[in-house]
Amino acid sequence: MPFLILLAGGAVLGLVGIFVRLAAAAGVGPFAAAFWRMALATPLLVAWAWSARRAGATTPPSGGSGVLLPGWSTPALIVLAAGAFAGDLILYHLGLHWSTVANATLESNMAPVVVVLALWALTGVAPRPLFVVALLAALAGALLVIGVHWGEHRVLLGDLCGSVSALFYAAYQIGVQQARQRLGTLTLMAWVSAGATLVLLPFAWFEGDFWPHALRAWLWLGGLALLVQIGGQVVIAHAVKHLHPARASIGLLVHCVREMAPPV
């Protein structure tokens, strides 16, 4: 069941590239889109977590998939998740801005490669040979997609941003998965969203046009906050507690497949 929940959340994340592009068409820059996604979602998550706690609907975390970072305190894991997520959004949104939705999404979702290598370093347990072959094939496919735009410097820069965002997305996944061993879903996501909002604020402010002017821009940003951040990331954070980080990371590729379906 947790894996099916993860897949559902990943499918919702497939909307992010579309909403960011629509917001850009309405005059919202990549940093501003990332900031408002988090800023609009944060008070709703805080209120939801607070009301759930008041109603006694929260339960202590139990039955997780294991601790990989035993020396990390809970605040440190929250800082890791929030900072990594903000970095992922900055680079991924730049990738969406300069490259295609399909390219940026594919590149950002090479996070499983990073997660598997990180787990190998943390646990000393090497991945299965078939798993390594699959990851190498995925990397080769990503290089073929990027190679099509080799002569287009702007697109290549976007592809580079999308690729580097995978590092941050992998760190975010590990941070959330580990913090979920200690915190409930709503509490964790409220903290992560608030932290990411603070990190993204200076980027959005100095980008210019901080406040969206068109009503349709607010609609697309509201979609990012409600559907993607709350409807997608919260569901994923609930599921990853019960899954191995490598399996969870691969499961999230579902939203990459969703984005790759139509040509953009």
Give the list of residues 6+ apart from residue 236 with CB closer than 8 angstroms, or none: 6, 9, 10, 13, 176, 248, 252
Residue 74's pLDDT band (cuts 50, 70, 90): very high
Residue 220's pLDDT band (cuts 50, 70, 90): very high
Give the list of residues 6+ apart from residue 246 with CB closer than 8 angstroms, or none: 112, 115, 116, 119, 127, 131
Over residues 109-113, mean pLDDT = 73
Residue 4's pLDDT band (cuts 50, 70, 90): low
The mean pLDDT of the chain is 79
Residue 170's pLDDT band (cuts 50, 70, 90): confident
What is the per-residue pLDDT for 180?
84
Contact of 42 with 156, CB cutoff 8 Å: no
What is the per-residue pLDDT for 194?
97
Residue 2's pLDDT band (cuts 50, 70, 90): low
Over residues 231-249, mean pLDDT = 62
Model confidence at 262: pLDDT above 60: no
Give the list of residues 6+ apart from residue 158 with CB closer than 8 angstroms, or none: 94, 95, 96, 97, 98, 99, 100, 103, 104
More confident residue, 206 or 15: 206
Beta strands per DSSP E along 169-245: none
Model confidence at 255: pLDDT above 50: no
- The model's pTM: 0.79
What is the per-residue pLDDT for 41?
95
The model's pLDDT over 18-51, given as tens digits with 9 standing for 90+, comes to: 899 999 999 999 999 999 999 999 999 999 999 9
Over residues 171-198, mean pLDDT = 90
